[in-house]
Amino acid sequence: MKAVGLTRYLPITDSESLRDVELPRPEPGDGDLLVRVEAISVNPVDTKIRQFKSPDHQEALPRVLGWDAAGVVQAVGSKATRFQPGDEVYYAGSLIRPGTNSEYHLVDERIVAKKPRSFDMGQSAALPLTAITAYEAFCDRMGIMFEGDSGEKTVLIIGGAGGVGSIAIQIAKMANLRVIATASRPESQNWCRKMGADEVIDHTKSIPDQLQRLNCSTVDYIFNTSSTDQHWPAMCEAIKPQGRMCCIVDTTDAVDLNALKRKSVTFAWEFMFSRPLYQTDDMVEQHKLLTQVARWVDTGMIQSVLTERLSPINAANLRTAHAKLESGRMIGKLVLTGWPS
């Protein structure tokens, strides 16, 4: 089968950083689905793992990256019961298994859902990783419910124009929250408004000062999809007493958790790979939440976050996609569709 492989950890400008390869078609285990991949999306985790080791490190076999995917079930394992061949599905894969940058892919059925009927394969592939991240951050980490009235509460979403931020804005609005998103360029600010943000501020300037000008000196929730180190002091100042904060980007320096103590603030990390990585008892929650996201899409409650398509799925186009993400200026999501004939 066709695939794009990593054998050396190189800058994305090097033509050897990602290569077209041929690999054996895998066979499903007991709880697996074998999916013919029709579309993939690229996320920051792809670029971070590609840069993970020194250039001199050699992989024994080509390593296949990629996690977001949409495709068609080809075969099911002997204990897989939720899907059958021919089902159109979408999912975000697992860090401990080969990635989705391959023509056929094995995935545990507990983290898969049927794709939205109203989205094509490309639009569907743009959703899973970001939707799981935002959903888990809001519900599992910060305890925000979609039922009930949260209209008097406010969430600050730092980095609102990226893939996670784009879906987080929409999910926050479904929870009836007032959404203040951050973006630094006119085009990214306009995108946040298109996604549904009530106000947009510039994260390259003082966040607390801008909140004051919105008559909102503190917020109930903060969801940071950007640099934790950079925004930590502003987050500690902007969060309400007994508020909740969630981050998704690793720290590179020590941050002062004591700054949250006097306010009794809850802080949580969100890492959407945790459930499949540790094979948790509640892994199936990702199947459930992706099923819910598909319903929201099909009832018009969530709009597509797809902004760019490349075709076909090959090493050259994946290098282009990685470079765009590494530029730090990507708005929404980029997908690749179709395999070379």
Residue 220's alpha-carbon distances to 131, 134, 206, 294, in angstroms, are: 21, 17, 18, 28
What span, in angstroms and rounded, lies between the C-alpha atoms of 101 and 119?
21
For strands 239-247 and 219-224, give the pairing.
Answer: parallel
SS3 letters for the chain? CEEEEEEECCCCCCCCCCEEEECCCCCCCCCEEEEEEEEEECCHHHHHHHCCCCCCCEEEEEECCCCCEEEEEEEECCCCCCCCCCCEEEECCCCCCCCCCECEEEEEHHHEEECCCCCCHHHHHCCHHHHHHHHHHHHHHCCCCCCCCCCCCEEEEECCCCHHHHHHHHHHHHCCCEEEEECCCHHHHHHHHHHCCCEEECCCCCHHHHHHHCCCCCEEEEEECCCHHHHHHHHHHHEEEEEEEEECCCCCCCCCHHHHCCCCCEEEECCCCHHHHHCCCCCCHHHHHHHHHHHHHHCCCCCCCEEEEECCCCHHHHHHHHHHHHCCCCCCEEEEECCCC
> For domain 2-126+274-337, which architecture applies?
Alpha-Beta Complex (3.90)
Per residue in 275-316, pLDDT tens? 999 999 999 999 999 999 999 999 999 999 999 999 999 999
Among 91, 88, 162, CA closest to 120: 88
Residue ranges matching CATH 3.90.180.10 in the chain: 2-126+274-337
CATH 3.40.50.720 in the chain is located at 133-269
pLDDT at 148: 59
The confidence score (pLDDT) of residue 52 equals: 65
The per-residue pLDDT for 48 is: 87
What's the confidence (pLDDT) of residue 60? 64
| Angle value at C-alpha 83, between 78 and 88, nearest 5 degrees | 135
Q: In the chain, which residues have pLDDT < 50?
A: none
Q: CA-based angle 273:274:278, to the nearest 5?
A: 120
146: its two tokens: 């979609």
**Residue range 6-25, pLDDT digits in tens:** 988 888 999 989 999 999 99
- In CATH terms, the superfamily for domain 133-269 is NAD(P)-binding Rossmann-like Domain (3.40.50.720)
Specify the pTM.
0.94
